[in-house]
Homo-oligomer: A and B are copies of this chain.
């Protein structure tokens, strides 16, 4: 380990201080959703700063998704409060075991919709087979959909379940439900449990990247908005992967939270 020491004044640059002040006013409600923020000229006059500094202060807020620039008009407080997604809490057995939808357990009371649900059966891409520890040419039940909050698309998700889990059991209620539009109370995790494959542990992998043109369109992303890509694997207590879910989230719409013990 090579520690290089530098000593300098550690205070925040001016543009960050100004951004923090505006941020405080947004959080306190002094600037409300949809309000136009002071522009570069107003900030230059108010704080006695250069145009570049004013621009940087505003870009902090737009980068954070707290404000959005409307070309030729100005910068507006963003009409969307990020969704807080609790990693462990939302997937706890008490939730899906009691028949609740996973989405309902996020600390948010906003209405949501599921749109464009497609259920089909396919031989998936290689990385899906690997994640599910399936041999080549195995078939999976695939559930694809988008989620909307307040009418705004916030994520798309493609869930894969090994078809073999219901081998010889195709007429059961759980086999029928995992292929139905309505997967029933508690969703597919409850159905997996009924079929003897209850998820006991989850692994979530998070990557961040710019969207493909297709994703930008599907999630109606503002230019310059990255996506969060999540790959979730559900495992039984004997470590068998029973679901692999690929989720693409509007990066400006989410705060992910994970709580864990030391």
Contact = CB atoms under 8 A, between A and B. Distances in A.
Interface of A: 1-8, 10-13, 17, 20, 24, 56, 59-60, 63-65, 82, 87-88, 91-93, 96, 101, 112-118, 120, 122, 125-127, 142, 144, 181-182, 189, 198-214, 224, 226-228, 234, 251-252, 254-262
A118 B10 contact: yes
Contact of A202 (B8, B127, B260): B260
A21 to B, nearest CB: 9
B64 A207 contact: yes
Question: Is chain A's interface secondary structure helix, strand, loop, or mixed overall?
Answer: mixed
A116 to B, nearest CB: 5
Given A8-B118, A118-B10, A209 B260 contact: no
Given A200-B261, A226-B251, 19 more contacts: A4-B116, A5-B116, A10-B142, A13-B214, A17-B125, A20-B126, A56-B213, A59-B212, A63-B211, A64-B209, A88-B258, A201-B261, A201-B262, A202-B260, A204-B260, A206-B257, A208-B227, A226-B226, A234-B262
